[in-house]
Amino acid sequence: MSSDASGIARDVGAAPRVSVILIVRDGERFIEEALASIAAQTMPSLEAIVVDDGSRDRTVEIVQRCVARDPVRMRLARHEHGSNRGMSASRNLGIRHARGGYITFLDHDDAMLPEKLARQAALLDAHPEVCAVVGPNIRWRSWSVGGASRGARSSDDGRDVESHRRGDEVQQLGVDGQAVLVPPGLLPFFLRRTASTPQAPMVRREAIDAIGGFEDAFTDMYEDQVFFSKLFLHGSVLVDTEPLHRYRQHDDSCVRRTHRDGRQRAARRRFLRWLQERLAQADDSVAAGLLPIVAAEIRASWFASLRAVPSRMRALLRLRR
């Protein structure tokens, strides 16, 4: 086993079927649980590449401890000099070192159910015409109730049997039943409804290479929508009905922080403008249906920002009194 300039240990053994790219920055609160959900997968042929994005807390120490317990399947990568490069660049670093033919993603504060990798890999095997599999997430609120995320009474497949009583809900992707969607796939739906953006797809390595991975310029919000836009414009995608990804709801998430800081609308307009430019290079039959949606969403975002100005002014006046 050897290490390269990024600090990642390379296993020269047989390549795994699936690579999980887990990115993290200052994630000491949740990272161990995310890694445990990978270790608990029913598919043995996997690797987890944890990319640290300049953490300043105990994250690296915790990850190194987990890697020491499972050095064949788990590895740690860091940017040069331990720098902070953002979410897209971190995912791309993980992709560059991934050896699996299938690649999926996990954020440090989320978790995957034990059968996720096995089920999605089997679906890709059964559908050679698709470039990826996506499915709904579980809006995971029950983790914070009575220790639900650690030791709660669970069913045999890892689901918390009380979760429905604590506010968990399954995301709606806008598709009834399992379906193969040709371009533009789910793109029109989640453009109009951001909450319907899928998470943690399992993607064929050759499809990621074909679309150029993630866009480094998108360091936080909307990096996932940029990637999904490229993916849905590239080829057919299988939409599964089984929720296999737990999306933790908490106040320190990237999404919540961006909304609190008032940066969400500007970030969304930046994504939409990027998509307009991307569609100019897409097939006319696909772009023609999407461009009016994008234009309408840009206008709606500007109107929402203008409506928010008086309330912000009132808030500032209250602070000055």
Q: Where are the domains of the chain?
A: 2-261, 262-321
Answer yes or no: are the C-beta atoms of 148 and 33 closer than 8 Å: no
Q: Which residue has the higher pLDDT, 235 or 282?
A: 235
- CATH 3.40.309.10, domain 2-261, yes or no: no
Per-residue pLDDT band at 313 (split at 50, 70, 90): low
Helices vs strands, H then E, count in the chain: 10, 14
Residue 189 clears pLDDT 50, i.e. is over it = yes
Question: Each residue of 255-276: b (16+ CB within 10 Å) or e?
Answer: eeebeeeeebbebbbbbbebbe
Digit-coded pLDDT (tens) for 215-268: 999 998 899 999 999 999 999 999 999 999 999 987 665 555 554 555 688 999
**Under a CB-based contact definition with an 8 Å cutoff, are residues 92 and 68 in contact?**
no
Report which of residues 146 and 99 the model is more confident about. Answer: 99
Could you tell me the pLDDT band of residue 46, with boundaries at 50, 70 and 90?
A: very high
Q: Which residue has the tokens 């936080």?
A: 220
Rg (CA), the chain: 20
Which DSSP symbol is given to 26? Answer: S
pTM, two decimal places: 0.85
